[in-house]
Amino acid sequence: MDIVYDLLVVAHLLGMALLVSGVVLRLTAPNSPSAMVLMTGAGTQVITGVALTGIASAGLVDTDVDNTKIAVKLVVAVAVLVLAHILWRKPQAGKGLLYTIAALTLVNVGIAVFW
């Protein structure tokens, strides 16, 4: 199961890369499908994050799970997903929405590394 877990970690990091790419794309090429990139990234984070947590909680890998940390990450990631969806539906939305998505993504990176 270690290899499955490791592959999910790779997918999790690629999902984070999609979120960062989506923000940069939106700033540099406003007419590009950046909202779709952001939604894909946020969705990837939620799905791979939940799968990683499930595998670890089931004791299939030798990794401890901090449920409080995971709960906070999940709430932040779902917020990013909802905001990306709003951006997709309302392409003319102000920059504040995009900066909030960027900030929340950084918050989750910080939680992942420092908590």
Query: Residue 52, Cβ neighbours under 10 Å: how many?
Result: 20
Binding mask 29-48 for ligand HEM (x = CB under 6 A): ----------------xx--
Q: Which residue is nearest to ligand HEM (CB)?
A: 49
Q: Binding mask 96-115 vs ligand HEM (x if CB under 6 A, - otherwise)?
A: ---------x--xx--xx--
d(C-alpha 11, C-alpha 75), whole Å: 20
Residues 33, 43: Cα–Cα separation, whole Å: 16
Q: Is the dihedral of CA 67, 73, 75, 77 positive or negative?
A: negative
Binding site residues, ligand HEM, CB under 6 A: 9, 12, 16, 19, 45-46, 49-50, 52-53, 56, 63, 70, 73-74, 77, 80, 105, 108-109, 112-113
